[in-house]
Structure 1
Amino acid sequence: MANGAEHRLLTVASRSSVELPLSAVLADGAIEVYPQVESKGLLFLQFQGGRVIITAGKYIGLIPLTPNISVEVRPKLPVSNLAHILDHARASLGSVALDRVYELGGDQGSTILEFLLSNLLSALREVQARGYLKTYVRRSEAGLPRGRILVGQTVKSLWSRGERHRVATEAFEQTVDVSPNRAIKQALECAMVALRRAMPESPVLKRANRFFVEFPRTVTNFRNSDLVACAELLRSRSLPASRDYYYRPLEIATLILSRASVSLEHTGGNVELETFVLDFEDVFERYLRRTLQLRAPDPFVVKDGNGDGARPLYDDRPEPPAHPDIVVKHAQWPPLIVDAKYKNKPDRADVNQVVTYAACYRTNTVILAYPAKGPTQTGMKLRGTINGVRVFGYGFDLAAENLLDEEEKFANAITGVVPAPAVEEMAA
């Protein structure tokens, strides 16, 4: 660590603050905070007197603040299965230039697989820079002399048949066709195939394809024995010191091939990867929208108000657009507008926003969805009516023991809120 100081880990909930003495972020009289921390909005710093106030933004994860201080930003409310939520939302894990250790555990969903593949590509940059692992193999052939002449084999196999113009030789040649390289190449290919199905728009795929194309062509197909050989190599740490950079890509490759996963909720363990950062406000919105898209019954159609569900905010001009998070359409009913708010409780500004959406979309039903503090705060509640517009709130329990049941309740509640006249007309 810098200056020989012990590394310090701070823990804070998103959108919350923690204070430190100013001396904690100083080195030789200068502030040594990493510039990308504030430029990317990962953390915000305010200096007051002899103290610094560190405020977490919308990102969660382990964020390096200085060479000696890291800040672990956790979701403001408990989350029971972050990997499931990320897979459901089709979200990607960002990363910063700081390693941490992870526990093994859980299923290897598409988000974790993408994260592992991204880490593998980062590790392979050093392999490309410092050289691929090679070994010497024995080559025996009959023909022009090359290497050591095998007198006994020459007499027995060649001269005895009258082929006195030929000799048997033996030479040792270097090759990259070794178990670690075959495993890494196979992990690249398997991860790319899986991600093309699950996350075809992932930017990691383009990078992975470039690495795969540049991989030495002399590396042959993966063999069943390669995984065992790689596991033994990782256990024994028997590579030459000049090739110790191979352990990281090899370990990640074996994780991918064995379909192992890592826990995103707990720190500690023995698998070293880049630290992840995640815009959980965006994930929460995408998770709720994707849940409705998968679970809303026909003839409901769920659209993204930031995409195919958008429309102009004003009636007499095309700009600016209205961007509700979720638009739930039905052929015979006015649309339902759902706006996701990753906060303890929606405020007056949130109500004003969805009432504006109600006027824009010609509907009388809007819903503010937010994380519930616990099971007693879940479900649909009418907050009030404004000039005929019903404003509902829905508390979603991200810490539910069974998230699948929670998703089903959410979809049923949203699609169950319809204008009363429309229900009567359908019954008639």
Structure 2
Amino acid sequence: DRLLYIQKPWDIKLNCHYDEHTSDIEDNQIIAWTLHCICRTGLYSAKVSPMLRQAYHALQNLVTLQPYSARDCIGRNYNRLNQNYQRLHALCRFFLEHSGPSHKTGSNTMLPFLVNMAKLYERFVAEWLKSHLPSGFGVKILEKVNIDKTLYFYIDLVLYEVATEKTCCILDTKYKIPISPSREDFNQVVIYAITQDCQEAVLVYPAPLTQPLDVKIRDIRVRSLTFSLDGNLEEAGQLFLKKLTGLSAEC
């Protein structure tokens, strides 16, 4: 009997439990879904686009794409083997919520970040004007002006007449509340007006100034106007627009 067992290969089966290593886990699926959602929005710069798509396509071949909510990023268990996911999931929660941060205190952990309020204010005023300008007027955003091959600058907003494409007014937004416009801001908007052969230049502030500006240098009239962020934004915008289109009535 022993010789019979020795002559045959042994068929030994051990009963055991083990975890198979795979990339298709929930931790990675949350990241893949978040990248998928961001890519669909198109709300990212040209500089970020290649990195974003590269990360998404790398995970796309390894992970099953399935929907997750911001709540799925909260209350997860982390240990020394997966602690690197904690910050990534915090960012995923932010993007999946599809909403900006609030000034209120919440119960969840979030990474600190800065908001460029000057740029945000500039874009807010620009988008509001685009949807509220009277018929016949248009607005150019961040108009590039080339001085020579190496010297150029961008004008925040250029108000123009659509029929003739004549520039009616130069606007430069300033997210600050000084007593009066600074010399630098004044010089800047005057130069902008000269390059566009425009006789109206406006410095836009988020609150009324103690000493508002209304002067004329040669043929260029320079004023300060307010698009207030306090109270009703629609009413503040209409008041701003009324004064602005009054300046440009001669176009």
2:65 corresponds, among 210, 213, 221, to 221
Aligned in 2, Cα 1:261/1:363: closer, same or farther, shift over 3 Å? closer
User: Does the Cα contact within 8 Å between 1:371 and 1:396 map onto a contact in 2?
Assistant: yes
1:417 corresponds, among 226, 247, 250, to 247
Give the strand-richer structure, 1 or 2: 1
> What is the one-letter code of the residue matched to 1:296?
L
Tell me the residue number matched to 2:160: 329
1:186-197 mapped onto 2 (5 Å cutoff): 186-194=33-41, 196=42
1:13-52 mapped onto 2 (5 Å cutoff): none
1:53-72 mapped onto 2 (5 Å cutoff): none
Aligned in 2, Cα 1:174/1:227: closer, same or farther, shift over 3 Å? farther
Tell me the residue number matched to 1:246: 85
Per-residue CA shift, 1:354-400, capped at 9, x if unaligned?
Answer: 34444443333221212215xxx69xx771334453322202223x2
- Output the aligned Cα RMSD: 3.9
Per-residue CA shift, 1:108-131, capped at 9, x if unaligned?
Answer: xxxxxxxxxxxxxxxxxxxxxxxx
TM-score w.r.t. length of structure 1 = 0.45
Tell me the residue number matched to 2:55: 211
User: Does the Cα contact within 8 Å between 2:203 and 2:223 map onto a contact in 1?
Assistant: yes
1:362 corresponds, among 179, 188, 197, to 197
Report the Cα offset of residue 289 of structure 1.
3.0
1:263 aligns with 2:101: yes
Aligned in 2, Cα 1:253/1:285: closer, same or farther, shift over 3 Å? closer
Structure with bigger RCO (C-alpha 8 Å, 6+ apart): 1
Report the Cα offset of residue 189 of structure 1.
0.7
User: In structure 1, how many angstroms separate the alpha carbons of the residues matched to 2:70 and 2:247?
Assistant: 56
2:206 corresponds, among 352, 368, 371, to 371
User: In structure 2, how many angstroms separate the alpha carbons of the residues matched to 1:204 and 1:364?
Assistant: 39
Tell me the residue number matched to 2:175: 342
1:295 corresponds, among 132, 135, 139, to 132
User: Does the Cα contact within 8 Å between 1:340 and 1:369 map onto a contact in 2?
Assistant: yes
User: In structure 1, how many angstroms separate the alpha carbons of the residues matched to 2:191 and 2:62?
Assistant: 63
Report the Cα offset of residue 193 of structure 1.
1.0
Aligned in 2, Cα 1:278/1:263: closer, same or farther, shift over 3 Å? closer
**Equivalent pairs, count:** 235
- 3-state SS of paired residue (2:65): coil
> What is the one-letter code of the residue matched to 2:175?
Y
Per-residue CA shift, 1:301-360, capped at 9, x if unaligned?
Answer: 2124542xx365xxxx89965754322111456521222233323134433443444444
1:396 aligns with 2:227: yes
TM-score w.r.t. length of structure 2 = 0.70
User: In structure 1, how many angstroms separate the alpha carbons of the residues matched to 2:205 and 2:137?
Assistant: 22
- 3-state SS of paired residue (2:113): strand
Between the two proteins, what is the percent identity of the paired residues?
Answer: 25
User: Does the Cα contact within 8 Å between 1:355 and 1:389 map onto a contact in 2?
Assistant: yes
> What is the one-letter code of the residue matched to 2:189?
V
1:235 corresponds, among 66, 75, 88, to 75
Aligned in 2, Cα 1:192/1:228: closer, same or farther, shift over 3 Å? closer
Aligned in 2, Cα 1:149/1:412: closer, same or farther, shift over 3 Å? farther
Aligned in 2, Cα 1:388/1:261: closer, same or farther, shift over 3 Å? closer
Aligned in 2, Cα 1:175/1:347: closer, same or farther, shift over 3 Å? closer
